[in-house]
Amino acid sequence: MAVFKGAGVAIVTPFCEDGAVNYDKLTEILEEQIAGGTDSIIICGTTGEASTLSHEEHLDVIGHTVKVVNGRIPVIAGTGSNSTETAVYLSVEAEKLGADALLQVTPYYNKATQKGLIAHFSAVANAVKIPVILYNVPSRTGCNILPETAVYLAKNVPNIVGIKEACGNISQIAKLAQLADGCIDIYSGNDDQVVPILSLGGLGVISVLSNVAPKQTHDMVMSYLEGNVAESRKMQLEALPLIDALFCEVNPIPVKTAMNLMGKECGPLRGPLSPMEPQNVERLKAAMEGYGLQVV
């Protein structure tokens, strides 16, 4: 059974002005996402600035999210690391905290071989009992999970059940779908490729866009899954200018800026991320207003 179908939000981590995690604001954002129809919460991923959280903060944020969500929708905890030992530690602790599943990014900087990836992901998955979703984003990690590797893992490690595909290469994802023949659930990791990946048998998206447009992103996926392909395609195309603006600087700089522009008071970014360039803020504002989002 799939961890989820539909639109999961790769949610931001709100900070106070002094840089501390703003747990009150996180609670508020989580409630807004659930009310907006989001199908799953992905906490402490790239968009959540997990790489700048201490281990203590990382686990506190996961635990807080599990408590607030309280079983209403799945909570998927980002617990990946470029160190296998650290990824195992965070994963075991996240399972103890009640996470429903884990998101495991490819080890960054090390640039593991495919054999190394198999060993890494197997070690993490074998340390826990909850489902594991792989996360392939070579533009950020310098490491690509080849289709054959993902299929091998899905067939040989029982709780590796899905993959968030953000390689950007539709041909590679098509090959993955063909080789997998249903043995691994595929989620789009790019908001501009939701419908193309659904057409290859994908189950949904792990989305940045959902932070500012949860209902629209959910509806885009569910329209497709319910057979209304034309409506889903229309929603995908209408969202493209905003999606482009949300990635005109490195994620999560634009989406956190967008949420602050909407009055959601998510606070600053942690270094080395820096404030958005003024000309890009104006581009983002225009795209948000063109999509019907209110800028305050």
CA pseudo-torsion sign 52, 266, 163, 59: positive
Let me know if 234 is a catalytic residue.
no
Give one DSSP letter per residue of 100-119, joined into a string: SEEEEEPPTTT---HHHHHH
- CB neighbours of 216 closer than 8 A, spacing ≥ 6? 209, 235, 239
Let me know if 135 is a catalytic residue.
yes
Give one DSSP letter per residue of 150-192, joined into a string: HHHHHHHSTTEEEEEE-S--HHHHHHHHHHHTTSSEEEESSGG
DSSP H or E stretch at residue 41: strand 40-43
CB atoms within 10 A of CB 290: 12
Q: Cα–Cα distance between 268 and 204 in angstroms, integer?
A: 30
DSSP H or E stretch at residue 8: strand 6-10
Tell me which residue of 51, 59, 56, 127 sits closest to 99, measured CA to CA: 59
Annotated active-site residue in 5, 23, 129, 135: 135
Tell me which residue of 170, 161, 157 sits closest to 198, measured CA to CA: 170
CB 151 within 8 A of CB 158: no
Annotated active-site residue in 164, 187, 224, 256: 164
Residues labelled catalytic? 135, 164
